[in-house]
Structure 1
Amino acid sequence: MYPTARLITLLVLGVVLSVGLTLAWPQGWFWAPFAMLGVLGLGLFDGLFAPLSRTLRLDLKTPRTMGVGRDYVWPFSLTFKGRRPSALEVRFGANHLLIVTDMAQPILAEGEAFQSELALKAHARGVATLEDIYVRYRGILGLIWIQKRLTLDRQIVVTPDIEGVQHDASELFSYDSIYGVRVQNQLHNGSEFHALREYDASQDPRRIDWRSSARHFKLLSREFQAERNHHIVLAFDTGRLMGEPLLGIKRLDRALYAGLLLGYCALKIGDNVRSFAFASQPYHIAPQVSGMQGYEVLKHQLSSLSDMAEESNHTLALADLNSRIGRRSLIVLFTDFIDEISADLMLEALNRLSKKHVIIFVAFRDEVLEDLAAIAPLTPEDVSRAIFAQRLLTQRETVHASGAQASRPVVGGSHERD
């Protein structure tokens, strides 16, 4: 128990009035201590007859897992046995992985319980702990705070945002269903040979197979269909730069979200997916998976990746990847860079890899640098920050332009899930 602002205010007013009374009526000075003791007695009475904190009970159900970067709201209720206060103030304690939103307003009683919602968000993967809850309330007269701490020790495994991946993937397929629930004609839409058919005027003359036509004494043309069973490699840089936060969430966690979304869509339409990770050296190369049952395997593979306090070695990693992949594949590289030297080494390694495979280079837009470069400078420090931010942005644009000139698609993604 400890005093409220009301009790402290009464004590201060009592002191002021006692001094004024002593100055105005010196013979009545002995009444001042009695007045102060009366106020303290009211505070003691308020604390003794307040609702008992040992009868407080919490009802809160927490899941075993939660996705990084996603906002969660969980209902909870607090009950007393016997008398109860008119309002409660609640605050939850958690470890460094969780961001708990403080409750600005006191919780009022609804029926027999105090009901509210716990809003929290995880900004990094790992094992988060909801440690305890602090509840305080005033006595009957509002002179004393009674505070109770309840130990929770609820452990929650923070994983990539699987729920968000599945939601976004379902929206993508609802916008443009590739195969639908009926069999659709996928001919003439790709480059994979399907069959020979007799040539007619509606077909492209360049598709005539002259050797087969001479063999059968009639014009035959090649018929193509949409490609299936592609090989896709999701390559993740887990070095030091990928551990830096981008608007509160690590770059690696945002890359894993994009990789899971791409893997979900690829597996759903029949492609094969495998994952690869590296930092100062390659340490993760998984066998390819296929079908929607392979998505569960891919989730566990990517959830085990974590950033390391090491500089990334793109040359070694991409050379090792090139030696491990035999069939021509689509390689999606999630990485980041900050200086021109490491970017040049990465581009050289990509040049060698692109002779055999198709490369897509993915980097997030650094919106912090963009804001620093665009803000109007007011002090000399603002000018220095704007100059360095613009220099770094120019280097990034140069690397992106070099990749585009080498016929490698460069994707500069925003942090938002668009």
Structure 2
Amino acid sequence: MIYPTRRAVLIGAAGAPLALLAGVAGEGLWLAGLAWVLVLLLALALDAMLGGARDGLSLIAPRAPLAAVSRDGSANFELRFSARAPATLEAALGGSERLGLLQDVLRAPVEHGLAELCFPLRPQRRGPARLETLWVRWTGPLGLAWKQKIFALDLDVPVTTDLRRVRDEAVRLFARDAQFGAKIQREVGEGAEFHALRDFQLGMDRRAVDWKQSARHAVLLAKEFRTERNHHVILALDCGRAMSEPLGEAPRIDHAINGGLLLAYACLRSGDRAGLFSFDSAPRLSTGALGGPDAFRTLQLMAGRIDYSTEEANYTLGLTALAGELQRRSLIVIFTDFTDSTSAELMIEAVGRLAERHLIIFVVMRDDELDEMISAEPSTPEDVSRAVFAGSLRRERDLVVSRLRRLGVHIVEAAADRLGAAAINAYLDLKRRDML
């Protein structure tokens, strides 16, 4: 496709009044206007001929970018001119709105016949997406004619969970083991599994002294324990309507998935087994407790299948179905949020039945926007109403949390970006206290 640039249009528009005045001034001068049009058309044709050929432009092996929710990424393309090339070109990329393209039109230089395009993107929602079309245009040396070529991409770009954040946080939390290298070790110390007897030393817990064996050998001996392994840890994710609402830069469910995967990594690293369970109005996904070298990769793939939902979470059905699947006592980590007293009442009832047999960690996200509404100094009547409403929501949440604590449920409340670390600390604390 070849069409005039803005410069050509302005030049043509500037010459039209002059040609009209010349035609009015004299009968033979109207030919000057015709000559002006012909000169402009010839200049357009010459500029189009001197510009890079459309047939000589090719797109080199386009690849689908890696896209993760709430993480800056880029869609990169490389173009090549086989013959004469322009100095610069402009490009536009068409794709799904889910990808969050940040720049509509990109201008790039052409060096040695090659041009590199880098379109920044920041996806806000997980799910399937596509890059559909790449438009490229450039001008000749006179800047009078645009030459455009369209490339059909048809690239599938699934927007996944931000696993880089999970990996970086896991490396930070477990970096203390890096200097020792990979090795098999026994975690000796606190735990419930008996390991061996050793001489009692100053500073050891006196409750660990084995008095019978000490009397037999005439020396103080203490019991040494080994940390128990192979516990079942189930990550129950509420993916209902309330969890699909945004909190900060991403929906709540994406924060919960990131925190859950980080906790799963810690559990698998500690020798325990981890599994995923998600529900909204009905159970949607269940992996069971997984272990082994491929367990974390499987959990990553299954977490990518958790979709956003517009349905209310049915805690009774979801948690009852989870209880029916578990054949042994497990640690159940529930990632959820609640918005009204009715759903909270049903949730407390369902969690209470589950806590009779299993150990429960209840994870909720701290809503900084709600806290800001409560603490902000009001300047209008609307600010007062907003603060009163936010305060009532906060009191209802605190009441629900206190009732859950009385049921023996362990509560973790943290900011969205610290959810995984807070859940790991709670898990390690329970493991240290031999409550699993």
Aligned to 2:271: 270
Q: Report if the CA contact (8 A) 1:364-1:413 is conserved.
A: yes
Q: Which moved more, 1:44-53 or 1:140-149?
A: 44-53
Q: Which amino acid aligns with 2:115?
A: F
Equivalence map 1:87-106=2 (5 Å): 87-102=88-103, 106=107
Aligned to 1:172: 173
Q: Which moved more, 1:240-249 or 1:14-23?
A: 14-23
Q: Report if the CA contact (8 A) 1:268-1:291 is conserved.
A: no
Aligned to 2:424: none
State the TM-score, normalized to the length of structure 2.
0.80
Equivalence map 1:9-408=2 (5 Å): 9-18=10-19, 25=25, 30=30, 31-63=32-64, 66-73=67-74, 75-102=76-103, 106-175=107-176, 181=182, 186-195=187-196, 203-208=204-209, 222-370=223-371, 388-404=389-405, 406-408=407-409
Residues 379 and 79 from structure 1, CA distance in 2 versus in 1: closer, same or farther, beyond 3 angstroms? farther
SS at the partner of 2:169? helix
Distance 1:285 1:377 in 2: 47
Q: Which amino acid aligns with 2:11?
A: L
Q: How many percent of aligned residue pairs carry the same amino acid?
A: 36
Deviation of 1:4 after TM superposition, in Å, equals 1.8
Q: Report if the CA contact (8 A) 1:93-1:130 is conserved.
A: yes
For residues 72-106 of structure 1, the C-alpha deviation after alignment (integer angstroms, 9 at most, x for no partner) is: 33543211222222210011111233122327652
Q: Report if the CA contact (8 A) 1:64-1:155 is conserved.
A: no
Distance 1:385 1:72 in 2: 37
Q: Which moved more, 1:372-381 or 1:342-351?
A: 372-381
Q: Which amino acid aligns with 2:247?
A: L
SS at the partner of 1:130? strand
Residues 222 and 139 from structure 1, CA distance in 2 versus in 1: closer, same or farther, beyond 3 angstroms? same
Q: Which amino acid aligns with 1:120?
A: L
Q: Which moved more, 1:135-144 or 1:37-46?
A: 37-46
Deviation of 1:162 after TM superposition, in Å, equals 3.4
Q: Which amino acid aligns with 1:270?
A: G
Deviation of 1:60 after TM superposition, in Å, equals 4.3
Distance 1:314 1:162 in 2: 28
Distance 2:270 2:181 in 1: 11
Distance 1:354 1:87 in 2: 66
Distance 2:228 2:285 in 1: 28
For residues 355-410 of structure 1, the C-alpha deviation after alignment (integer angstroms, 9 at most, x for no partner) is: 33222212233445456666677776666555545544444344345445655333
Distance 1:134 1:54 in 2: 14
SS at the partner of 1:62? coil
Structure 2 alignment gaps of length 5 or more: 422-436
Q: Report if the CA contact (8 A) 1:64-1:157 is conserved.
A: no
Q: Which amino acid aligns with 2:40?
A: V
Q: Which amino acid aligns with 1:162?
A: L
Q: Report if the CA contact (8 A) 2:193-2:226 is conserved.
A: yes
SS at the partner of 1:338? coil
Q: Report if the CA contact (8 A) 1:61-1:74 is conserved.
A: no
Residues 74 and 129 from structure 1, CA distance in 2 versus in 1: closer, same or farther, beyond 3 angstroms? closer
Q: Which amino acid aligns with 1:112?
A: G
Distance 1:378 1:40 in 2: 64
For residues 271-305 of structure 1, the C-alpha deviation after alignment (integer angstroms, 9 at most, x for no partner) is: 11122222222243333211333223322332332
SS at the partner of 1:292? coil
Q: Which moved more, 1:127-136 or 1:396-405?
A: 396-405
Q: Report if the CA contact (8 A) 1:72-1:120 is conserved.
A: yes
Aligned to 2:415: 414
Residues 307 and 201 from structure 1, CA distance in 2 versus in 1: closer, same or farther, beyond 3 angstroms? same
Q: Which moved more, 1:64-73 or 1:167-176?
A: 64-73
Distance 1:28 1:393 in 2: 87
For residues 186-238 of structure 1, the C-alpha deviation after alignment (integer angstroms, 9 at most, x for no partner) is: 44433444455676775444445667779999876544333333221111112
Q: Report if the CA contact (8 A) 1:89-1:107 is conserved.
A: yes
SS at the partner of 2:91? strand
Q: Report if the CA contact (8 A) 1:60-1:75 is conserved.
A: no
Structure 1 alignment gaps of length 5 or more: none
Distance 1:370 1:176 in 2: 38
Q: Which amino acid aligns with 1:117?
A: C
Q: Report if the CA contact (8 A) 2:91-2:106 is conserved.
A: no
Residues 284 and 216 from structure 1, CA distance in 2 versus in 1: closer, same or farther, beyond 3 angstroms? farther
Aligned to 2:429: none
Q: Which moved more, 1:316-325 or 1:181-190?
A: 181-190
Distance 2:186 2:49 in 1: 81
Task: Figure out how many residues of one structure are paired with residues of the other and give that number.
Answer: 417
CA RMSD of aligned residues (A): 3.6
Q: Which moved more, 1:60-69 or 1:378-387?
A: 378-387
Q: Report if the CA contact (8 A) 2:82-2:113 is conserved.
A: no
SS at the partner of 2:319? helix
